[in-house]
Amino acid sequence: MNEYDVVVLGGGPAGLAAALASFEQGMNTLIIERENRLGGILKQCIHDGFGLIKFKEKLTGPEYAQRYVDKVLACQMPVLLSTFVLTVEKAGTGFVITLVNAAQGVAQIETRALILATGCRERTAKQVFINGTRPAGVFTAGTAQHLVNIEGYLPGKKCVILGSGDIGLIMARRLTLEGAQVLAVYEAKSTPSGLSRNIVQCLNDFHIPLHLSTTITRVFGDNRVEAVEIARVDENMRPIKGTEQVISCDTVILSVGLIPENEIADMLGVEIDAATKGPVVDQNFMTSVEGVFSCGNALHVNDLVDYVSESGEIAGANAAQYVREATPRQLAEIKMSPDFLYVVPQQININSSNRKAVLYFRSREVRENMRVTIKSGDQVLLSKRYVILRPPEMERVRLVIKDGLASNQIEITMEPVKNKEMAL
Ligand SMILES: Cc1cc2nc3c(=O)[nH]c(=O)nc-3n(C[C@H](O)[C@H](O)[C@H](O)COP(=O)(O)OP(=O)(O)OC[C@H]3O[C@@H](n4cnc5c(N)ncnc54)[C@H](O)[C@@H]3O)c2cc1C
């Protein structure tokens, strides 16, 4: 049985960065990817805007991914492509992975540490409960993106988009550029789900209307979509009677959210955070199962790939550190006030030699002029002012963990900036 120090599951931007960080620390590292090419979802994201933080350049998705793929190829790290992991089991101080591929059939490998970088999957029509028939012409935004950008097919000519997530916004522009008519984007919430820059560049610039507090209540058509019924919704997202309207179209694109892909984590009994749907981790991105790390969109859905790569680097470097010297953990919980949608990591390992934590968080609602404070007992670890906090825009802060935390619990809160402070 082949043995590795670190095995990375998933060859997207998170997995590539994690594998490189582990390899650079001298670890015998393997990447396992179920598709036949590295790069993850970025392979189909041919628009630009990637890498502004990481490389200070405006790259396309494939260009961004290729920078990491080239590095992986240059260091001749082993990579198993078109390989599917069947099971992962804890065995002694490490894990046994059972996988299947065309060259080896069913095979087993051993590893000391495992990094889960399996990305996320899209919510489908089944998860948003739209009434009506089930004709052809209903696609998730990612499937439409794959059809247009990889296969070269146009999924429809007269499209409506449900949900204002970033992939839907990007597809509104892409489908328009490819000659389809995008009638409108309907969003059940009262605020858009996507980044402001995507609202401006993908909808406003192409005169595509965005209808907030509106949803699709019914799909019509036998073989192919012929129309949809839309309706305004109240503050509880319930359709308001009398506001229904029928819109003629042949395609419905769904952009209604992403869910971290964590079947392997479930198999291992990793604790999952109900808010992120990804594993609960410490600042080293180690999960509740010692030796199992998580990063990228498998950990929580990111809006910028630059932070996906950053989380991969953190997981990779710390998986290497774990293989070198696994020390017992002492975990302090990060307790968030209800103003936050989530905070990652959810714990700090006070015993870790890594005294720097990168925290990612999202506000539950749009809030203006807020101060976010992170405290342990009376000890203020960080205090930062924000002009605006919006749920679609993930925030990132760096925390230095001082020796001798005042309490075994860390609190993150936000409160309005005082008038006097605003005047300064
Ligand atoms: C459809 C879609 C479109 C997107 N478009 C954009 C965009 O335009 N702009 C943007 O900034 N962000 C976009 N994103 C967000 C994007 O996912 C992240 O920016 C980033 O690519 C996430 O990186 P990752 O490595 O965590 O996941 P991914 O890029 O999804 O990579 C995960 C990899 O793991 C592999 N994998 C999963 N399970 C297994 C398994 N069991 N065994 C082996 N391999 C496995 C997958 O095949 C995949 O290659 C998009 C996401 C989706 C889902």
Q: Are residues 115 and 138 in the same domain?
A: no
The answer, yes or no, to whether any atom of ligand 1 lies below 6 A from the CB of 18, is no
Q: Are residues 250 and 320 in the same domain?
A: no
Q: How many residues does the chain have?
A: 424
Q: What is the pLDDT of residue 422?
A: 58
Q: Are residues 247 and 280 in the same domain?
A: no
User: What are the Cα distances from residue 106, in Å, to 82, 86, 101, 394?
Assistant: 13, 9, 7, 40
The pLDDT tens digits for 236-291 are 889 999 999 999 999 999 998 899 999 999 999 999 999 999 999 999 999 999 99
% of residues, the chain, pLDDT over 70: 97
Instruction: Answer for the pair 11, 23: CB distance below 8 angstroms, yes or no.
Output: no
Residue 365, domain CATH: 2.60.40
Q: Are residues 1 and 14 in the same domain?
A: yes
Q: Are residues 264 and 234 in the same domain?
A: no
The pLDDT tens digits for 7-63 are 999 999 999 999 999 999 999 999 999 999 999 999 999 999 899 999 999 999 999
- Distance (angstroms) between ligand 1 centre and the Cα of 327 equals 32
Q: Is the pLDDT of residue 424 over 60?
A: no
- Distance (angstroms) between ligand 1 centre and the Cα of 118 equals 7
Q: What is the pLDDT of residue 418?
A: 80
Q: Are residues 3 and 115 in the same domain?
A: yes
Q: Are residues 283 and 183 in the same domain?
A: no
Q: Two tokens at 217?
A: 């209540």
What confidence category does residue 408 fall into, taking pLDDT thresholds of 50, 70 and 90?
confident
What is the C-alpha separation between 57 and 51, in angstroms, rounded?
A: 6
Closest residue by Cα to atom 38, ligand 1, is 118
Q: What is the pLDDT of residue 401?
A: 85
The answer, yes or no, to whether any atom of ligand 1 lies below 6 A from the CB of 41, is yes
User: What are the Cα distances from residue 215, in Å, to 137, 190, 234, 240, 366?
Assistant: 18, 11, 11, 10, 21
Residue 154, domain CATH: 3.50.50.60
- Distance (angstroms) between ligand 1 centre and the Cα of 416 equals 36
- The last residue of one of the domains, among 256, 278, 300, is 256
The answer, yes or no, to whether any atom of ligand 1 lies below 6 A from the CB of 262, is no
Residue from 45, 173, 202 to probe ligand 1 pocket by mutation (most atoms less than 8 Å from CB) = 45
Query: pTM of the prediction?
Result: 0.93
pLDDT, the chain, mean:
94
Q: Are residues 376 and 341 in the same domain?
A: yes
- The last residue of one of the domains, among 256, 289, 306, is 256
Q: Are residues 128 and 101 in the same domain?
A: no
Q: Are residues 105 and 146 in the same domain?
A: no
Q: Are residues 153 and 103 in the same domain?
A: no
Relative orientation angle of helices 305-324 and 61-74, to the nearest 10 degrees: 20
Q: Are residues 350 and 272 in the same domain?
A: no
Query: What's the total number of domains in the chain?
Result: 3
What confidence category does residue 140 fall into, taking pLDDT thresholds of 50, 70 and 90?
very high
- The last residue of one of the domains, among 298, 326, 354, is 326
Range of the domain at 105: 1-122+259-326
What confidence category does residue 142 fall into, taking pLDDT thresholds of 50, 70 and 90?
very high
The pLDDT tens digits for 201-242 are 999 999 999 999 999 999 999 999 999 999 999 988 899 999
Q: What is the pLDDT of residue 127?
A: 61
